[in-house]
């Protein structure tokens, strides 16, 4: 069953068209990666799903809800079930790890409780448990500006997980991390999708990483989908087309079959 269905999505920034007639369906629990050049529209596509960017036209259905028809309050409610992970982590650096993780619960709170930062014991225990699972138990009371990049991104993942999301949007989650931290992060996200059945929609620059971890790859070029299929069927020629360059200039090995 599709948890996310995007139909004929188009986005204009003033006169510039960023997305053209994009349609795709994502099954519950699927790990989908979007690849494409910088400026191809990957980030716009991701942010149209939770309406952090308003689409110009088209339909976005998440978990049976027509996202574009929602008013302010209902949009907030829908967003609580969509986690988001960012390239630059987007944490509050001066607060502790556990405080940042609990921010993921604010969407479920009344304005009064949320503004005062009042969390229940159940929520706190959940946050601790998620942090332990991500190997951050010892960092829990440290301030986030004392962590390494990889640790910060794990805090970002924990913040998304305490939302109890059905879908996690990942915008270049490993673009500012070293190779070893990148692997840790990708392994965690893979486990989250496999064991917790949380759907993942991710933007990536590294084609090899996308092939290794994804169930499905979507290639975007100049705002349109040019590839949608299994990673092992992705040919060198297609990758060259996605990135708009010569096949010989692409650092990429086809899977032998």
Partner 1 sequence: MIASLEVRKTFRRRNLIALGSFALIAALTLGSSVVTAFDWPASLRSFPKAAGWMAANFMPDGRALRNAPKIGAKLAETLLVSVMSTVLAAAFAFFMAILGSKTTRLHPLVSGLVRLIASLCRNIPVVAWAMIFLLSYGQNVLTGLLSLFIGTFGFLTRAFMETVDETAESSVEALKASGAPWLATVTQAVVPSVMPQVASWILYMVETNIRDATLVGILTGTGIGFLFDLYYKSLNFPSAAFVVLCIIVVVLLIETLSNALRRLIL
Q: Tell me which residues touch partner 1 (CB under 8 A).
A: 50, 52, 75-80, 82-84, 86, 88-95, 103-104, 106-111, 114-117, 156, 159-160, 163, 169
- Would you say 169 or 242 has its CB closer to partner 1? 169
CB of 110 to partner 1, least distance (A): 8
CB of 45 to partner 1, least distance (A): 15
- Would you say 46 or 217 has its CB closer to partner 1? 46
Contacts 24+ apart (CB under 8 A), 90-95: 90/156, 91/144, 91/152, 91/155, 91/156, 91/159, 92/144, 93/143, 93/144, 93/145, 94/143, 94/144, 94/145, 95/143, 95/144
Q: Which of 247, 245, 231 has its CA nearest to residue 34?
A: 231
CB of 6 to partner 1, least distance (A): 17
CB of 128 to partner 1, least distance (A): 19
CB of 143 to partner 1, least distance (A): 10
DSSP per residue over 17-82, as a string? EEEEEEEEEEETT-EEEEE--TTSSHHHHHHHHTTSS--SEEEEEETTEEGGG--HHHHHHHHTTE
Q: Which of 41, 52, 112, 102 has its CA nearest to residue 76?
A: 52
What distance in Å separates the CA atoms of residue 255 and residue 214, rounded to the nearest whole number? 14
CB of 198 to partner 1, least distance (A): 15
């Amino acid at each position: 069953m599709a948890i996310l269905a995007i139909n004929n999505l188009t986005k204009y920034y003033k006169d510039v068209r960023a997305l053209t007639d994009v349609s795709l369906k994502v099954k519950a629990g699927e790990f989908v990666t979007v690849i494409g050049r910088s400026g191809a529209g990957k980030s716009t596509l991701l942010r149209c799903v939770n309406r952090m960017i308003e689409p110009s036209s088209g339909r976005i259905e998440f978990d049976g809800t027509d996202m574009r028809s929602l008013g302010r309050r209902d949009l907030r409610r829908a967003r609580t079930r969509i986690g988001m992970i960012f390239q630059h982590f987007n944490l509050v650096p001066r607060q502790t790890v556990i405080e940042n993780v609990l921010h993921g619960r604010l969407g479920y709170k009344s304005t009064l409780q949320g503004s005062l930062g009042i969390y229940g014991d159940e929520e706190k225990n959940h946050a601790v448990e998620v942090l332990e699972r991500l190997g951050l138990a010892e960092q829990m009371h440290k301030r986030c500006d004392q962590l390494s990049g990889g640790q910060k991104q794990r805090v970002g993942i924990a913040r998304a997980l305490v939302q109890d999301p059905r879908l996690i949007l990942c915008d270049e989650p490993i673009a500012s991390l070293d190779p070893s931290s990148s692997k840790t992060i990708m392994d965690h996200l893979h486990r989250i999708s496999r064991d917790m059945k949380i759907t993942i929609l991710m933007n990536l620059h590294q084609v090899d990483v996308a092939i290794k971890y994804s169930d499905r790859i979507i290639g975007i070029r100049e705002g349109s989908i040019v590839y949608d299929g299994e990673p092992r069927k992705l040919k060198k020629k297609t990758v060259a087309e996605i990135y708009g360059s010569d096949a010989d200039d692409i650092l990429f090995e086809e899977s032998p079959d």
